[in-house]
Structure 1
Amino acid sequence: MKRTFIWIGALVVGALLGLLGLNWLDVVMNLVATVYTRLFQLLAVPTIVLAVITTFATFGSKGSKRIFGHTLTYTLLTTIAAAAVGAVLYLLLAPGNLPAEVVNSSSKVSDIGPQITYTEHIISIIPNNIVKPFFDGNILSLLLLAFAIGFGLSKLPESENKAVLTKGLLGLQELLFLLIRGLIWTLPLGIVAFSAQLSAQLSAGIVADSIGKYVLIVLGGNVIQFFVVLPLFLMVRGLNPIHVLSKMMPAVLMALFTKSSAATLPVTMDTAENRLGISPKIARFVLPICTTINMNGCAAFILVTSLFVMQNGGIPLTWSTILLWILVSVVSAIGNAGVPMGCYFLTLSLMSGIGAPIAVLGIILPIYTIIDMVETAENVWSDSCVSAMVNHDLNKNCSSLL
């Protein structure tokens, strides 16, 4: 509780500093925010790899299969629910089309990031070099490698070599968590910087060019998923959503400012274990997986944005089209990487692939910072809910695993 109050205090101080409008102060705050983001990204990659390897190695294939099954089930259910909420809001609020001259105008979207097809995105996940995914920070490729190594380690016959290797990996993991705890101890300074950065952007009018109903649908869908749908999932499993959210609030706040569930992962794991009381074996297995495949906010964004872009391109939005894109958004979100603007680039690739007017995405870009923040906070909250539900299920039905 003390840490939460300190973080909230840092949030307020940062917001006030950002409103001062001092150029030198904005530069300093941007520098500090960038340093913290890079440090958490640095720790995120080895955290994911070591967590998956050690969990597979210590659980064994049977235990890993059970826990992965629970995780995947809750991930699919929550992600489908998020997309469905977005579809319902889109049909109810029915945003109108943008002016034709805006839709047909040349766009600078192509200069923002690489445009690749979704097939190329899937192929890029399959590593062809054991070192390259570490340099590129390709989370999904690293997950595949970690699964393979962890599974192979669990299948090795018991021997001194296996014991030494396993203890070495566990020792590295403990060292990593020591570094994470040290970084979290200094995090109030980072929160001041993140908050000042956001406050300065808002005062500069980033939200002023919003697209009205579209923004209301995207943000409204995230709010409903955050405060209604996910708490309902928890209550069905016999968990108190207020208790879970209060314990996981540091991770949710961190996600809000970093706009990266992968960068927030060290905080999410530490908070889940030490505040919420989730078994380390569960937290260190479920949360790295959820960080890469449990993208509630991304699924809603992909669906709503795709429908909006297609509508402006003159594509009829029939029931069959909407249902198809609910499926596409869920599958795409699961294959997305938990990095800033990941959903934006993925939606851009999908729309380019069907020839929709991607100039609309250029109009959305100025306000995407706010959307990305809310989405990431929702994603980490959903990760927290999934890990809490899996922990509850295994404690209740499979206590022998723990």
Structure 2
Amino acid sequence: MCDRCNKHYRVSSTALLLLAAALGMLTGWLDFPVINNICEVITDIFIRLLKLVSLPIIFFSLIATLSGMSGMGDVKVMGGKVLKFTLLTTFVAAAMALLLYTSFDPAHQASLAASRSGQELEVVSYWNYLLSIIPSSFIEPFYNGNVMGALFLALLMSAAILSLGQDHKETLHKLFDSLFAAVMKMTSFILKLMPLAVWAFVTLFVRDFQNQDMLQGLVVYLVCVLLANVIQAGVILPLFLKSKGIPPLKALKAMWPALTIAFFAKSSSAALPSAVKCAEQRLGVNGKVARFSMPLCISVNMNACAAFILITVLFVSQSNGVQFSMLELLSWVLIASIAAIGNAGVPMGCYMLSSAFLAAMNVDLQLMLLILPFYSFIDMLESAINVWSDSCVTAMVNHELEQAGELASEQADS
């Protein structure tokens, strides 16, 4: 009964967002000054609320995820292999996304800077980023909206927590996990205003719409996101499997029930029980590996999320006049990979993390609201691809452990 209610809510919320976007097109075309003033107030309030939770989402999400891992001494061989393939596949996904983004260059066609007379383009300095990675105080990144500084503090704090004793580690993990849950509850309150915000943003967008460049850029952006996901799922991950002698088609057929659940539920976590069962009974993965690797991968292995964050942040920021050097673009491969690992599979996690980065960079979020109506399908696709990536990592870990004889020794000990 509860699942049916959730499905009904998801369908209703998506339909409501589409209705809000359609209404925004109408009111924007009518161009009533009173309505425009109301929309400007609504958009300003909504952006302020997003900025309020932006850096806390990034900070607490990463710490809550990483601090929940076993200590390096406990993880040993199996955990090391899972993390190795997780980092590798996530990094490759982000790198492929950057390659596609620079090739298609959707922001070039969707630039908003030209339509904003008198607004200077923001030039992002790579060396300033490097200097700001290490803040001079703990609160400085949050006061200045410094994303890199917040990421550095989160990684440093996570490493420190993992090195503590079990009692302290569990206490701090529960603390940060609870703080993250509280921030996400605040975010859920804000998201209830989303249909109103979509109406306001679309109204102002249509009012200011001068040509077809923005629409064309948005289409190219969506093509980039979909291509990045398809290439990762259909080319990159199968190549990883083949390198280990694992037939990709056989693995896909074995995991298909779990992928279907993830797609329609829009959640990799919801597919976890099915994913573990499919890995054990259909893919032939050792039970110990499946029950260890799949839950860990569900938490940290977010290939599709890394691609979405990178393409979205670059597209929206560059469309608003932010300029990046090649070194800065390359640095976003690392940032997107870290953010994806810290995503922890929260609802609309990729979208909210992208919005959080943009809000922390003081970038106009108008385009994010235009992307939102399309995100429902993107979220479904990404959830399935994340579970497929988890399955590939688990299969590769199982293969390496079998080759090294680790599984046989574990079974003998038990």
How would you bin the TM-score normalised by the shorter chain?
Answer: 0.5 to 0.7
Q: Quote how far apart the aligned CAs of 1:31 are.
A: 2.5
Q: Which residue of 2 aligns with 1:64?
A: 75
Q: Which residue of 2 aligns with 1:320?
A: 327
Contact 2:112-2:320 within 8 A present in 1 as well: no
1:307-352, Cα deviation, whole Å (9 max, x unpaired): 1012112122321121011110001111112122101111111111
Q: Which residue of 2 aligns with 1:256?
A: 263
* Cα separation, partners in 2 of 1:234 and 1:332, compared to 1, 3 Å: same
Q: Pick the aligned partner of 1:100 from 112, 118, 123.
A: 112
Q: Pick the aligned partner of 2:367 from 352, 360, 373.
A: 360
Q: Quote how far apart the aligned CAs of 1:292 are.
A: 1.1
Q: Hey, what's the Cα distance between the residues in 1 that align with 2:403 and 2:383?
A: 30
* Cα separation, partners in 2 of 1:363 and 1:392, compared to 1, 3 Å: same
1:203-254, Cα deviation, whole Å (9 max, x unpaired): xxxxxx8921000000011000000000000000111000111000011111
* Cα separation, partners in 2 of 1:278 and 1:318, compared to 1, 3 Å: same
Q: Quote how far apart the aligned CAs of 1:393 are.
A: 0.6
Q: Hey, what's the Cα distance between the residues in 1 that align with 2:172 and 2:385?
A: 33
Q: Which residue of 1 aligns with 2:85?
A: 74
* Cα separation, partners in 2 of 1:346 and 1:102, compared to 1, 3 Å: farther
Q: Quote how far apart the aligned CAs of 1:64 are.
A: 3.0
* Cα separation, partners in 2 of 1:32 and 1:375, compared to 1, 3 Å: closer
Secondary structure of 1:212's aligned partner: helix
RMSD between aligned residues: 3.5
Mind listing any 5+ residue stretches in structure 2 that lack a counterpart?
12-64, 117-144, 162-169, 182-214
Q: Which residue of 2 aligns with 1:33?
A: 7
Q: Quote how far apart the aligned CAs of 1:128 are.
A: 5.4
**Within-5 A mapping of 1:365-376:** 365-376=372-383
Q: Which residue of 2 aligns with 1:400?
A: 409
- 1:315 is aligned with what amino acid? V
Q: Hey, what's the Cα distance between the residues in 2 that align with 1:136 and 1:250?
A: 34
1:224 aligned to 2:235? no
* Cα separation, partners in 2 of 1:326 and 1:395, compared to 1, 3 Å: same
* Cα separation, partners in 2 of 1:103 and 1:290, compared to 1, 3 Å: farther
Q: Which residue of 2 aligns with 1:241?
A: 248
1:66-89, Cα deviation, whole Å (9 max, x unpaired): 001101110111001111111111
Q: Pick the aligned partner of 1:212 from 219, 232, 235.
A: 219
Contact 1:103-1:359 within 8 A present in 2 as well: no
- 1:258 is aligned with what amino acid? A
**Within-5 A mapping of 1:6-21:** none
Q: Which residue of 1 aligns with 2:99?
A: 88
- 1:241 is aligned with what amino acid? P
Instruction: Among all aligned residue pairs of Structure 1 and Structure 2, give the percentage whose two residues are the same amino acid.
Output: 39
Secondary structure of 1:368's aligned partner: helix
Q: Quote how far apart the aligned CAs of 1:36 are.
A: 12
1:41-81, Cα deviation, whole Å (9 max, x unpaired): xxxxxxxx9xx99xx7xxx9867310011011101110011
How high is the TM-score relative to the length of structure 1?
0.61
- 2:370 is aligned with what amino acid? I
Q: Quote how far apart the aligned CAs of 1:30 are.
A: 5.5
Contact 1:261-1:339 within 8 A present in 2 as well: no
Greater than 2 Å deviation, 4+ residue runs? 27-37, 60-64, 96-104, 116-138
**Within-5 A mapping of 1:1-400:** 31=5, 33=7, 64-95=75-106, 96-98=108-110, 100=112, 119=150, 122=154, 211-397=218-404, 398=406, 399-400=408-409
Q: Hey, what's the Cα distance between the residues in 1 that align with 2:328 and 2:171?
A: 36
* Cα separation, partners in 2 of 1:70 and 1:364, compared to 1, 3 Å: same
Secondary structure of 2:346's aligned partner: coil
Q: Quote how far apart the aligned CAs of 1:279 are.
A: 1.2
How high is the TM-score relative to the length of structure 2?
0.59
- 1:387 is aligned with what amino acid? T
Mind listing any 5+ residue stretches in structure 1 that lack a counterpart?
1-26, 38-48, 105-115, 139-208
Secondary structure of 2:323's aligned partner: coil
Q: Quote how far apart the aligned CAs of 1:135 are.
A: 7.5
- 1:100 is aligned with what amino acid? L
The count of aligned residue pairs is 277
- 1:33 is aligned with what amino acid? K
Q: Hey, what's the Cα distance between the residues in 2 that align with 1:285 and 1:133?
A: 23
Q: Hey, what's the Cα distance between the residues in 2 that align with 1:85 and 1:224?
A: 8
Q: Hey, what's the Cα distance between the residues in 1 that align with 2:115 and 2:340?
A: 26
Secondary structure of 2:269's aligned partner: helix
